[in-house]
Structure 1
Amino acid sequence: MKELVLALVAAAFGLAGTVVGARAAKKGALISAQVTLQQVRDQADVDQAHWLRQQRLQAYESFLAAWDECLRILNSVGLPGDSESSGLNPLKGAADRMTERARRIDILGPAKVARAAEELADSIRRDVDIATKLLKLTEEYLPANGRIATDTAPAMSAAIEAMGEATRQMQELVAEAEGGTEVPQGAAAMFASFDRAEELANAAISRAHEDSDGFSAFLDQATAIVDELKHNQEAREGTRERFTTAARNTLASATPPAP
């Protein structure tokens, strides 16, 4: 009987040891699994941060490439909207690309970089709008400006020619009437020629004044538009600096240390 009791006690202790061991093993396995899971999560965070940083870098570089393209167009054609310039449509295309790439930055963030990118894109679009306004003004003025060559200049030439003809007639009549007391026969025609020449001169001068007034109005409007364009270009210099600074800081701080 005593041996049986001892055997039962030993078995009980063995069973208890097995249970304790199993519990310890289970706890160890659980801790190990938790550590492994945390490592996986940390690595996933690092991978995601690396991916986001790479996506942002590509988006920022693509946006700045469109920006540089706009600047090259502006520098190559001078003042956009010039009637002799073919750069307006390419500038609009580059501005549209800037806008598209600014939208991608808005998705990737952060907000500070996205705002600066949108402001730069807006500024280039304003350049296009202002240049279009100047081009439209120039196109509207060109027909009036063409009238100088087709109407005003010929009218001035006709007035000068008529005045010259009247003067020639007068000189002939003076020579003919020299020493006489009677009015020369061609005097009436001469006076009529002077009247006609004066009429043509007054009409030509009136046209010239109209042309001058029209040019002055065009010049005032064109100067105001050019000033608006220059102001817009000067204002965005600070925006470009804010964008590059915000983008640089974002990329520098985007990647957490490896676990």
Structure 2
Amino acid sequence: SSLVHAASLVDPARHAPALMQLIDVKLDSHVIDYVVKCVADTVEYVMAQTLSSSHATRGRRTRCPYTPRFTRFVANVLFRAAVTPPTLLTALVYIHRARPHLFIAVEEWALERVFLGALIVASKYTNDSTLKNVHWALCTGVFGKRDVGRIEREFLEVLDWELGIHEGDLLAHYEGVLAASTSSQPPALPSGIVLKSAPLRSGEATATSAITHSYHHHVGILSTPQLHLSSAGFPQPDTTCTPPEPSYSSIHRGESFGHMDPEAPTPLSCYA
């Protein structure tokens, strides 16, 4: 019988060599910086679109700086949750896919919520066994269990439950990730590789996906309205407990979810 790749559940020979190189990348500090930039670029774009539509700041370009706090947040979550490269790459695809449908009403914690929503959805789609939301909450050191559940549900709404992944989706990050990982010039993408796949269609097969979930749920295709993301009511970080530095080896249909009362955050103990 042929070998089966752990990430795709199909014969590795069916995948492009560039993809095999990509999903074996080491998640070091440089790759984390690339992830941070991807999230920040998306949030900045969405905020600029929001301001443009409201005519609030005509002629001004909104910047969403990725702060050291957010970089630490990404590094800590990836380290504590033991996130693998295939899962992280899937999250990057989802962040790009959500970009046209996001609406950010409040900038506060927007970076963290977009990243966390994409990562949790990616983890649950690509793994049969994954962390529970209470464990994701502990990994963040910021959000409570109810906050995490809400972020996940609303990110799924933004994606309109379109979770299928194709090689082209992943290879769109080939040059960026490999360049960050090696801290050198980006490697040349092999000829014949298509960076972006065609738009997903309902019922489209994902057998050739590099990140294939071992079981799929049939979900009807819905129209995607403008979706809102706000941060009102989210807990502030516990400044009395500084997470350790890891070793590097609304989105709600209709009104903003910030109008709902979130669960009071459970006190989090420091990680040893």
TM-score range, shorter chain: under 0.3
Q: TM-score, normalised by structure 1?
A: 0.21
Q: TM-score, normalised by structure 2?
A: 0.21
Higher normalized helix content (fraction of residues): 1
Larger C-alpha radius of gyration, 1 or 2?
1
